[in-house]
Amino acid sequence: MRASIRTRLLLAFLVVALSAAAGLSAYFLTELEDYGLRKLEERLHSESLVLSAMIAADLRAADTDALSRRQADALAEELAEVGPRVASRIRVLDADGEALVDSAGSDGVGVQYAETPEVARALRGEYGAATRITEDGRVALYVTNPIIVGDRVAGVSYTSATTFSIRTLIRDYRTRLLVLVGLFVLATLVMTEILARWLSAPLRELARTAAAFASGDHSVRVRPRGSSEIQSVADAFNAMADEVQTALDELRAEESRKSRFISDVSHELRTPLTAIRGAAETLLDGDVAEEDARQFLSTIMRESERLGRLATDLITLQRIEGATGELPISRVDLAAVAALAAEGLSPLTDGRNVSVMIEGEAPLVLGDKDRLQQVFGNLIDNASRMTPEGGTVTVRLSADGDFTVAEVLDEGPGITSEDAARVFDRFYRAQPSRDRSTGGAGLGLAIVAAIVRSHGGTITAAPRAKRGSVFTLRLPSLKD
């Protein structure tokens, strides 16, 4: 089982804290030991200097360069009196390094010290000092100073004392140190637990949010907090969640559109298929008058043509909306395209006694000329259907900032606000009078809207102030 981030943080903080405490303790104990040695050396050096000066003065007064037995005995008596009150051990050596006087007692008299480093330096007329570890682990410091009479070393003042070491400190204060270490570890555990919980809280929140998101609740988001790195992760998670939510919404919308599209197609197919089937069944029953048979055959033919147009419109719409490649674009003059569309529809508009007028100028656009002609053809055809006999369909061109604007105006009864909002939906018929026998399948304006969107433009429908409707097409203008 993998450790949690909180456990890892806890262990990491604990290791760092204990390591830091151990390092600092070792450093300060070492500094404390060195400080004690320096102070002890200063004291021993002062004692040794004073002793050397006193003995040298006595020797000069006696006009001799060697300490006599009488002088040694007298000095031993004096040291014996002050010895219990002095922490240092004081010895006086002759010029050969042999102990003449020892404050520790007569057992130390006669011991030869000439081979020790500190004494050897003093016999050469130099200051000497050395440290050694005693059997009980304490640090022993030895200091020597030469006793100089004239230009000759007459002897050596030899002082020494012991002080604590790190090992003796730990040994002497073992119980207290164990208690302190225990309290420190406990305090460290508490503090690191609090700190680990505080640092890992944003990560736990992120984990809970991710789990909720994975379980299907796509509305959850993380509130960015904590360190900058955790905030970056939270921001990245929220951005990903937004993208996933958007993709799911689009997928659901697409599924809804597909479902509605299938339902609409099925509904559109049902009427012509029912008519064809009814006419065919009547003809199969036989005993049908020739005039009635022609009428039934005409019904079959008419409804078959409607099915063909519906299939063509559906294929056209699918090609436009599902196109992944670039349009075969070129520089297009919308006035010329509208004129071509009107010319192609002239037999129909003339038959309806409706005139088509194109006015105004507009900047060129980039687009597919044939598709844009299809847009104008559909809009002009619809406008001529709505315009009464003797009326006029107007195509008005203009510019609006970076856009080329084309308006198709009719003189019909006008479109309602409800119809204007849905007129570009598939299979929607704005006029109840345009039933399936007289109107199209309701895909014309859906195809128009798809073509306009593929050109990066927009199209809207609205009622005119007094009478009629206006369909407004906006396409990005071609920049010079």
DSSP symbol at 107: G
pTM listed for this prediction: 0.47
Q: Vertex 220, ends 216 and 226: CA angle to 5°?
A: 135
Which of 219, 223, 206, 215 has its CA nearest to residue 245? Answer: 219
User: What's residue 438's pLDDT?
Assistant: 43
Higher pLDDT, 407 or 194: 407
Kindly state the average pLDDT of the residues 282-308: 79
Per-residue confidence band for 267, with pLDDT thresholds at 50, 70 and 90: low
Cα gap 248→239, rounded to integer Å: 14
Kindly state the average pLDDT of the residues 87-106: 85
User: What's residue 418's pLDDT?
Assistant: 85
User: What's residue 362's pLDDT?
Assistant: 92
DSSP symbol at 477: B
DSSP 3-state assignment of 155? Answer: strand
Cα gap 467→415, rounded to integer Å: 9
Structure tokens at 242: 């937004």
**Sequence-distant (≥ 6) Cβ neighbours of residue 99 within 8 angstroms:** 91, 92, 93, 108, 109, 110, 111, 112, 113, 158
User: What's residue 264's pLDDT?
Assistant: 65
Structure tokens at 450: 């798809």
